[in-house]
Structure 1
Amino acid sequence: MRYCSLGSGSKGNGTLIEQGNTRLLVDCGFSLRSTEQRLRQAGIGGDQLTAILVTHEHSDHIQGVAKLARRFDLPVYLTPGTGYALRQEGLDLRWIDLHSPLLIGDLEVSPVAVPHDAREPCQFVFDNGRERLGVLTDTGSITPWIVEQYARLDALFLEANYDPHMLAYGPYPGFLKARVGGELGHLSNQQAASLLGMIDLEQLQHIAVAHISEKNNRPELARDALTDALAGWSGELLLAEQNQGLPWQTISGLSHHHCAQSGSR
């Protein structure tokens, strides 16, 4: 299994997950032109996509979904709550039940309910039978359910959206500061780090730090906060950026089998 980011942040999000001939695009918050350009940079044509999955209806995640889906005749998987924003004619909408995993091509996709100020938001864990990739952004707080669902992963695409000090003294108006920093907003660097303290890191090969705010955070602050929580961890800490995204990262099955052999699972 491999994954890459087409871009991550408040100006647009899109994450590609590939297993065999199955290629899933999680969210599409860019114009159609920009999306096609970003897909090309990743070496993928829109006609090679299997489906689009949508986490929630905010424009930085959904702006390009309908146009891309229409253009390449793609099914769109989303919760009924999120579907309110995409009730346009001619789309093949497939409802996600937050309590049931989906099988899409070669991947089992488990939707995970998260606290965020949207109608029925979710994030996803992808499983190919050997490796598990977790995608977790746009989450206001870490719940016990999140800890349970993301406990044993081989790779994690994780939001570290803001630094509390920068948010408090930054340019956002009060209501927006309260929204971002609230229980239904985004994860701070420290909240992201706290999740890492609650899950098993042993087979985790990469952590990609995502959805870093351009106004209320700096990549080095996010990296430093997470590094403190990763003492003794031997994996790779990566950055998914707004403009460059993140190039393809391959998850190898080695760590999983190694852990199984050493009896630690």
Structure 2
Amino acid sequence: MRFRSLGSGSRGNATLVEYQSDALLIDSGFSRKVMLQRLDEAGLEPQLLRAALVTHEHSDHAKGIQSLCEHLNIPFYASFGTARKMDWTGHALWRCLISDQAVDIGGMQVTPVVVPHDAHEPLQFVIQSAEGRRLGILSDLGTLTPHILNHYSNCHALQVEANHDPVMLANGPYPPSLRARVAGAYGHLSNEQCAEFIRSVKWPGLKYVTAGHISEKNNDRNLVARVLAEAIGCSPHEVSLLAQDEMSDWVALND
């Protein structure tokens, strides 16, 4: 199993997960045209994409899902709350996800995990291959709960959110209401919260950590690297940070 980010940030998010001859797309906050271009640049034949998973309805995660899936004639999976908000409940390609109830898609087992975020029934995902390799994708949440830490324990790779630095957010350009939302219990993880998460679920089998959804206005990539390096146990230049307008390299969970 391997994965790569196709773009991560406040202007659009998408992650590609591939296992043998099957692939999953997690979120599509980009237009159909951009997504097809990025899938092509990633070297993926569109017919290998089995389904798309939607974390929640915010536009930077969901605006391109319906158009892309209709174009490729593949199902898209989302919670009932997300589907109701997006007016998908009557759509022929929608499949309902229920938190903690794993579904098998293209040789991969996907477990949806409910998270605290200001959306209608938001989910994040732990994906497991037939060989037992586990990838945890965690973003868009304001609080770390015991339920989350339990689900993301024993992952071999993580793609996690490091959205903001609290000091930069407090002194940044956002209005007070938006600052409060981002920093709140249903907002986004700070660098320190991301580091806390990594320390909490770290085990000898965790080999890869990538960090994304990094705010362009309320964070600094060098700061993210320094904070996370201590938690991961590496030097700052070894921390893998995702970008808004660039795809990451493939990360393979084969070792």
Which interval holds the TM-score relative to the shorter structure? over 0.9
Note if contact 1:211-1:240 (Cα within 8 Å) is conserved in structure 2: yes
Write the distance in 2 (CA, Å) between the matches of 1:16 and 1:96. Answer: 19
Write the distance in 2 (CA, Å) between the matches of 1:5 and 1:99. Answer: 24
Alignment-derived partner of residue 115 in structure 1:
116
Alignment-derived partner of residue 226 in structure 1:
228
Write the distance in 1 (CA, Å) between the matches of 2:45 and 2:183. Answer: 37
Question: For residues 172-210 of structure 1, what are the alpha-carbon distances to aligned partners after superposition, in whole Å with 9 as ceiling and x for unaligned?
Answer: 011000000000000000000001121133111110011
Alignment of 1:188-199 (within 5 A): 188-199=190-201
Corresponding residue to 1:212 among 210, 214, 219: 214
Alignment-derived partner of residue 106 in structure 2:
105
The amino acid that maps onto 1:87 is D
Note if contact 1:17-1:24 (Cα within 8 Å) is conserved in structure 2: yes
2:7 aligned with 1:7, yes or no? yes
Which consecutive unaligned segments of at least 5 residues does structure 1 have?
255-265
Note if contact 2:85-2:120 (Cα within 8 Å) is conserved in structure 1: no
The amino acid that maps onto 1:81 is G
RMSD (Å) for aligned C-alpha atoms? 1.4
Alignment-derived partner of residue 148 in structure 1:
150
Alignment-derived partner of residue 52 in structure 2:
52
Number of residue-to-residue matches in the alignment: 251
Write the distance in 1 (CA, Å) between the matches of 2:212 and 2:159. Answer: 6
The amino acid that maps onto 2:233 is A
Note if contact 1:36-1:45 (Cα within 8 Å) is conserved in structure 2: no
Note if contact 2:24-2:52 (Cα within 8 Å) is conserved in structure 1: yes
- TM-score of the aligned structures, taking structure 2 as reference length: 0.95
Question: Which shifted more, 197-206 or 24-33?
Answer: 197-206
Write the distance in 2 (CA, Å) between the matches of 1:232 and 1:202. Answer: 14
Alignment-derived partner of residue 74 in structure 2:
74
Write the distance in 1 (CA, Å) between the matches of 2:199 and 2:29. Answer: 31
Write the distance in 2 (CA, Å) between the matches of 1:219 and 1:91. Answer: 41
SS of the residue 2:81 aligns to: helix
> Cα–Cα, structure 1 residues 232 and 68, in superposed 2: closer, same or farther, change >3 Å?
closer
Note if contact 1:66-1:86 (Cα within 8 Å) is conserved in structure 2: no
Alpha-carbon distance, 1:87 to partner: 2.4
- TM-score of the aligned structures, taking structure 1 as reference length: 0.91
The amino acid that maps onto 1:93 is W
SS of the residue 2:200 aligns to: coil
SS of the residue 1:172 aligns to: coil
Question: For residues 206-234 of structure 1, what are the alpha-carbon distances to aligned partners after superposition, in whole Å with 9 as ceiling and x for unaligned?
Answer: 1001100000011111111111222379x
Alpha-carbon distance, 1:43 to partner: 0.8
Write the distance in 1 (CA, Å) between the matches of 2:5 and 2:85. Answer: 24
Identity of aligned residues (%): 43
Write the distance in 2 (CA, Å) between the matches of 1:240 and 1:29. Answer: 15
SS of the residue 1:183 aligns to: coil
Question: For residues 95-139 of structure 1, what are the alpha-carbon distances to aligned partners after superposition, in whole Å with 9 as ceiling and x for unaligned?
Answer: 001131111121000111100000100100000132100000001
Write the distance in 2 (CA, Å) between the matches of 1:102 and 1:168. Answer: 40
